[in-house]
Amino acid sequence: MKITLKDGSVKEYAESKSVYDIALDISEGLARAACCAKVNGEVVDLRTIIDSDCELAICTASDKEGLSTIRHTASHVLAEAVKNLFPDAKLTIGPSIDTGFYYDFEHAPFSREDLDALEAEMKKIIKEGARLEKFTLPREEAIKFMEERDEPYKVELIRDLPEDAEISFYRQGEFVDLCAGPHLMSTKGVKAFKLTSSSMAYWRGKSENAMLQRIYGTAFSKKEELEEYLEYWENVKNRDHNKLGREMELFTTVDVIGQGLPLLMPKGAKMIQTMQRWIEDEEEKRGYLRTKTPLMAKSDLYKISGHWDHYLDGMFVLGDEKKDKEVLALRPMTCPFQYYVYKATQHSYRDLPLRYGETSTLFRNEDSGEMHGLTRVRQFTISEGHLIVRPDQMIQEFKDCLALAKYCLTVLGVEEDVTYHLSKWDPNNREKYIGEPEVWEETEQHIREILTELDINFVEDVGEAAFYGPKVDINARNVYGKEDTMITIQWDALLAEQFDMYFIDQNGDKVRPYIIHRTSMGCYERTLAWLIEKYEGKFPTWLCPEQVRVLPISEKFADYAAKVEAELKANGILATVDNRSEKIGFKIREARLAKLPYMLVVGQKEEEENLVSVRSRFAGDEGQKTLDAFIDQLCKEIRTKEIRKEVVQEEAKK
């Protein structure tokens, strides 16, 4: 047989060989470094037998597949350590992920002390260097094998497999786990690892299932790589909006109020107010009409829209249909409300498009395990809009919605941080969607052509569409690498029928309009979280809840500081005065720690000549300026929403 290697060279063998033996034949060094391989593009175990011509690429830790294999093996070492120290724990799943690996257990919560003990146990297992051996069993024998080991979750996984399946396991010493692989040849291949955290998770990700405990970890082939990663991870944790936002007093949460119900503190509320006013003004310039609709409605409304059938689990329902005459639900969206705004008046083809915008507070019953800070909450506010358009207007209006979204991203300075997704229906899951296949195929093709014409790179995601239509999702990753949808633009050719919406065309006939569901900037809370992490709390000046702090050198200049503050506020600038009896150096350091854009130091000369000494986050000491000149400069920066780049100076490093 002929084996074509990734450098194009060819190896010929007269008999079958394992991938590991081929690596050994190439060089002992490669065999020692090998983690897994790709055969004709498919990732396989080093134990895989090659018995025909193929293309073979040996993967080491420098390849993503090789690093993933190290981490997968580390997850098995973790599982063995847990069973050694906590024999009553039940095993579930333990995959490798982009940042390392995790394993879920049915067990009481793990403390940091538990993780430290598990790390020590893992080191013992790795030092023993047990070989990982793969074996298979028929399905029924595999079920019995795991039942004897009292591993009910493994039994459930096996029962979900076809009856004729051969079930694969890996053994390392006395420990055995259900697994498809690939894995390293021995546990000694896990050279450097760290257990980073633990959290709650649900079996198979569903809140109605058992609550599990997830242990996260990471692993590398070299200690230096691990140390570099842990340093990076520490920086990530410091940028986490859930930590930084609380430290900056932007938001907080309280147990007695509830999970997923954050309290925006004055600074955070001011930032969201600033964004909201900007968005509402921008939408008005683009022809949007404001609406204000109820926060709840009878179940009848959601039954017409289809949300009662397709989204009930995500709604907060007030009442019981079996006992109460009237059942209400908090709204998870605004669309059906705005449809009735449209239906209140008969419309001609000349009236369209009608663009309705609303700053909408919505409610969604998120699983407790999914909620995090401001990114996944149960009550949130979005820049929601619904465009009622003639079919011939749909493509241009959809393009304009994309243009508005891109404008918002550009102003916020995050346009380079997003990815575009065409979220499509899944024809194999018909129960999830309304409408006929040809409607879905046609609308998806329209969006595909729009994105291509606008030269927007995008990926296609099957099964991510709304139940009534395909959409463009604009996504961004948080500091931990998790992707969240920030902006959505949906094409809807179906719901107008369900709500009996129409317009009168040129011939006097009733015609169904199309609808675009869209957000211009998305969820305000999630966007605030994004900006906290993006800027590490050092926001563009126009967004800052405190833009200038006036610092009098001593109490003698308090009156002048108050005069400066009043002038700033009169010009719409968010300013405060630090009147504490502290040295000026201390006040400056405090203002820097607060990540303020500007500090104005005032003393005798400044008071006598109506000056201010300007210090900024961007350039350090900017020298003395007249108060009027500074105000003009700052008002222009705020008005244009300029994002000034920071210049790190030696003074700022002190």
DSSP per-residue letters across 106-170: ESSPPPHHHHHHHHHHHHHHHHHTPBEEEEEEEHHHHHHHHHHTT-HHHHHHHHTS-TTPEEEEE
pLDDT surpasses 60 at 446: yes
Q: How far apart are CA 482 and CA 485, in angstroms?
A: 10
- Residue 594 is encoded by which pair of tokens? 């607060």
Query: How is residue 56 annotated by DSSP?
Result: E
Helices (H), 160-311: 223-239, 241-247, 266-285, 299-305, 307-310
Mean of pLDDT values over 263-279 = 97
Q: How far apart are CA 521 and CA 408, in angstroms?
A: 6
Q: How far apart are CA 93 and CA 75, in angstroms?
A: 9
The CA dihedral of 371, 376, 377, 383, to the nearest 10 degrees, is: 180
- Within 13 A of 36's CA, how many CA atoms are on the CB side? 24
| pLDDT band per the 50, 70, 90 thresholds, residue 441 | very high
Taking alpha carbons only, the member of 216, 246, 182, 139 closest to residue 39 is: 182
**Element housing 198 (H / E):** strand 192-202
* Residue 216 β-bridge partners: 102, 197
pLDDT surpasses 80 at 423: yes
**pLDDT on residue 649:** 45
**pLDDT on residue 643:** 94
Strand bridging mode 166-172 / 175-178: antiparallel
Within its chain, how far is the Cα of 652 from the centroid? 32
**pLDDT on residue 651:** 43
Helices (H), 536-618: 558-570, 584-593, 604-609
Q: How far apart are CA 472 and CA 356, in angstroms?
A: 19
Per 3-state DSSP, what percentage of the chain is helix, strand, and coil (rounded to 5)? Answer: 40, 30, 30
Q: What is the pLDDT of residues 493-552, one digit of tens each?
A: 888 999 999 999 999 999 999 999 999 999 999 999 999 999 999 999 999 999 999 999
**pLDDT on residue 369:** 67
- Is residue 353 a contact partner of residue 504, using CB atoms and an 8 Å limit? no
Question: Of residues 1 and 362, which shows the higher confidence score?
Answer: 362
Length of the chain (residues): 654
- Residue 627 is encoded by which pair of tokens? 């108060």
**pLDDT on residue 286:** 97
- Is residue 402 a contact partner of residue 450, using CB atoms and an 8 Å limit? yes
How high does pLDDT run on average in the chain?
93
Taking alpha carbons only, the member of 24, 28, 29 closest to residue 47 is: 24
pLDDT surpasses 60 at 653: no
For residue 337, the one-letter residue type is F
- Residue 9 is encoded by which pair of tokens? 């060279």
pLDDT surpasses 60 at 648: no
Q: How far apart are CA 304 and CA 300, in angstroms?
A: 6
Rounded to a whole number of angstroms, the CA Rg of the chain reads 30
Strand bridging mode 418-424 / 458-462: parallel
**pLDDT on residue 324:** 83
Q: How far apart are CA 270 and CA 544, in angstroms?
A: 8
The CA dihedral of 99, 103, 107, 113, to the nearest 10 degrees, is: -50
| pLDDT band per the 50, 70, 90 thresholds, residue 606 | very high
Taking alpha carbons only, the member of 80, 30, 82 closest to residue 56 is: 30
Mean of pLDDT values over 319-329 = 87
Reported pTM: 0.80
Q: How far apart are CA 465 and CA 506, in angstroms?
A: 33
- Match 């006929």 to its residue by tokens: 436
Query: Strand, helix or coil at 287?
Result: coil
Q: What is the pLDDT of residues 193-243, one digit of tens each?
A: 999 989 888 898 777 789 999 999 999 989 999 999 999 888 888 899 999
Portion of the chain with pLDDT greater than 70, in percent: 98
**pLDDT on residue 456:** 95
Q: How far apart are CA 215 and CA 237, in angstroms?
A: 17
Question: Of residues 320 and 385, which shows the higher confidence score?
Answer: 385
**pLDDT on residue 313:** 84
pLDDT surpasses 90 at 122: yes
Taking alpha carbons only, the member of 58, 57, 17, 56 closest to residue 35 is: 58
Q: What is the pLDDT of residues 150-205, one digit of tens each?
A: 999 999 999 999 988 889 999 999 999 999 999 999 999 999 999 998 988 889 87
Q: Assign residue 17 a region (left: φ > 0; alpha: ψ between -120 and 50; beta: otherwise).
A: beta
| pLDDT band per the 50, 70, 90 thresholds, residue 652 | very low
**pLDDT on residue 393:** 97
- Is residue 544 a contact partner of residue 596, using CB atoms and an 8 Å limit? yes
- Match 């039940």 to its residue by tokens: 90
| pLDDT band per the 50, 70, 90 thresholds, residue 330 | very high
Taking alpha carbons only, the member of 157, 201, 198, 191 closest to residue 177 is: 157
- Is residue 35 a contact partner of residue 60, using CB atoms and an 8 Å limit? yes
pLDDT surpasses 90 at 480: no
Query: Strand, helix or coil at 195?
Result: strand
**pLDDT on residue 552:** 97
Query: Strand, helix or coil at 55?
Result: strand
Give yes or no for a cis peptide into 427 (omega within 30° of 0).
no
- Report in angstroms the alpha-carbon separations of 34 from 53, 392, 430: 21, 59, 44
Query: Strand, helix or coil at 494?
Result: coil
- Residue 94 is encoded by which pair of tokens? 């333990």
Q: Exposed (0-12), middle (13-18) or buried (19+): which is 321, by Cβ within 10 Å?
A: exposed
Q: How far apart are CA 30 and CA 562, in angstroms?
A: 72
- Residue 164 is encoded by which pair of tokens? 């004729």
Phi, psi dihedral angles at 560 (to 5 degrees): -65, -40
Question: Of residues 480 and 251, which shows the higher confidence score?
Answer: 251
* Residue 137 β-bridge partners: 167
